[in-house]
Chains A and B, each alone.
Chain A
Amino acid sequence: MSDAGQWCLIESDPGVFTELIRAFNVQGTQVEEVWSLDDQTLEELKPVYGLIFLFKWQGGNDSSRLHPEADLSVDENVYFAKQVINNACATQAILSILLNCPTIDLGAELDNFKDFTRLFDPYDKGLAITNSELIRGVHNSFARSDPFFLDQTDQSSSEKEDIFHFISYVPVQGALYELDGLSNGPVNLGPCTGDNWLEKVRPVIQERMSRYTSAEIRFNLLALIKNREDVYRTRIGEIDERMRHASNTNNSSELMQLSEERDQLLQRIEMEKVKFKRYERENSLRKHNFIQFIYNIIRILAERGELQAHIEYARKEMSKRIKDRAEKKKGESGSKN
């Protein structure tokens, strides 16, 4: 059990986020990673509720605001919560979209939460999120099932602690907003419609991506989208309608084309099912306590007299790594002279 109030680190993974949202009882959505913003990719993802940038500032990297603060007039229609706890970052990013989309079925608990905190100022909204036992509980259930809740930072980080940060983009009531967790309020980027907001946001995101890439800042770009299987099934329904019409008018070429489309959609539904099975499996591995498993493997190796050899191998690997790191550091300081 984690300490009351403690937020654990969770992985930045679409599978984690998709299941996280479902654990909140939110219906009909999923999270996908976005690799490119070209038309085709975006078309495939529609309808998109919002986009999320997730960053990790490597400890000590003091590149604060890479975006000048625009007019921060308070907009009561936009739900904006300040980021209060580092580890809560990803969940808060997702909420920043969910709580701004009236068309999403949030389920009773999040609906209540949204209502209850609607008139709080951004900081208090952030506090409410971090103090919410429901939200924190669901978030923490996706952390690794360690029997020891040490305050672990991301393992890939070396010495200093990492800072997590999110920036979300979401259309709200005819305007495109940027919600930066570390900022003081939402930023209005201009008018948009439900259809064209992705085109409007594309240059903004591309500019950020190139800036972060050149500054070597690691990031994920995620999209909160409508559940794909639902979308495909709806399309299949439309196609069935048209196929009925086509067969009535004996339009065989149209029928064939529609039939092909239908098959493709069925294939995609299958792929979605496979993907969700994979998410389920990965999440159960993530949450599983492997201590007994690991202990038994080691015990078996010890009984077979094979353990020592693997320890020696591990020592060599570690020495190699330390040496490489030292040489890398030397190289870097040398080139600065």
Chain B
Amino acid sequence: MATSLFPTPVPRRKYPVEFKAGKLKRDGNTNWLKADERKGLGDDQLMHFYWKDRKNNAVEDDLILFPEEAEFIRVEQCTTGRVYLLNFKSSSRKLFFWMQDAKDDKDEENVAKVNRLINDPQAGLAESRQQQTATSEAGSGVQTTESNLGFTSEQLGNLRNILSGIQVPDVSLVDVLTPSAIGPLLNNPEIASALFPHLPANIERSPEELAAVIQSPQFAQALQSLSIALQSGQLGPLLSQLGLDPSAGNGVEAFLRAIQEQANRRHRDHEDENTEDHSGDRMEED
């Protein structure tokens, strides 16, 4: 029997799969308990899905799952990622969880194992015995606070919306890059010059033409198309081309965030260069 990394007062049973997850309650209040989510055979030889409070190892939820009865799926609408739903096919019961292991690289694997164990317990157990995966990474070093586990208030709001069944809307680029938002920029000669190379070849390079272009129905159409394409999540290659992380493109807001982060990074790098230059007593590079 594998021992866990940290001694625990209660002897731990070995489960085919377990991972840290917080449970989200449907009335919109989120439950901040850190807890473990485990699946394993109970004494009755049926497949149990446990959700335990890690502090005292008390079992809060003990669900018996028969094959094909439920599925464990990712909630796509939550762009913060790592929100999963235990969806009961026969009833409307839904349990939401979010993954709290510090790293998300095992998420997919864990989810696949859960689904396997639900639908084909014998095979799932056999597989897990081979892999000997029982223990989750207890105490991977990252401390998350009790209060909000690292989510911003906006993300929490989104989660609340999901739980109450409201669809989380993504924004449209048409509403972000409105003529009144961009218009004022175009009078700045530096900005205009930066944009000229990206106009169609037969359009005159002037601020007036820029203004006409951004107000044209064809430009609005392009914004719409791009928004839709971003929501499809298929634009990885395009994002790489722009120097962005390909996985950052699931939706318009994610795309915008990625560009903001890129800009912040470049600004920091530029600042670092400047401070280095100063401290190194070198001439500033241009």
Chain A residues within 8 Å of B, Cβ to Cβ:
144, 146-148, 150, 152, 155, 280-282, 284-288, 290-303, 306-308, 310-311, 313-315, 317-319, 322
Stretch of B6-14, B117-125, B136-144, B215-223 with 4 or more beta carbons under 8 angstroms from chain A: B215-223
Contact B253 A311 (CB under 8 A): yes
B161 to chain A, nearest CB (A): 10
Known A-B contacts A294-B223, A317-B175; the reply to A148 vs B234 at CB < 8 A is: yes
SS class of chain B's interface: helix, strand, loop or mixed?
A: helix
Q: Is B59 an interface residue (CB 8 A)?
A: no
Residue contacts A-B, CB under 8 angstroms, 20 given? A146-B225, A150-B229, A282-B216, A282-B218, A290-B222, A292-B198, A293-B198, A293-B199, A294-B173, A294-B177, A296-B198, A299-B262, A300-B191, A302-B259, A306-B181, A308-B260, A311-B171, A314-B172, A318-B172, A319-B169
Which range contains the number of B residues in contact with the other chain? 35 or more
Contact A297 B185 (CB under 8 A): yes
Known A-B contacts A155-B221, A318-B171; the reply to A280 vs B253 at CB < 8 A is: no
Given pairs A285-B219, A291-B226, 7 additional interface contacts (CB within 8 A): A147-B238, A293-B199, A298-B256, A301-B185, A302-B259, A318-B171, A322-B169
Q: Is B202 an interface residue (CB 8 A)?
A: yes
B114 to chain A, nearest CB (A): 32
Q: B72-115: contact bitstring with A at CB < 8 Å (1 yes, 0 no)?
A: 00000000000000000000000000000000000000000000
Contact A295 B259 (CB under 8 A): yes
Contact A310 B219 (CB under 8 A): no
Instruction: Name the CB-closest residue of A to B264.
Output: A302
Instruction: Name the CB-closest residue of A to B190.
Output: A300
Known A-B contacts A144-B221, A296-B195; the reply to A152 vs B228 at CB < 8 A is: yes
Q: Closest 10 A-B residue pairs measured CB to CB?
A: A314-B175, A285-B218, A314-B171, A293-B198, A302-B263, A290-B222, A288-B200, A292-B198, A317-B175, A318-B169
- Assembly CA distance A281 to B178 (angstroms): 21
Contact A302 B260 (CB under 8 A): yes
Q: Is B33 an interface residue (CB 8 A)?
A: no
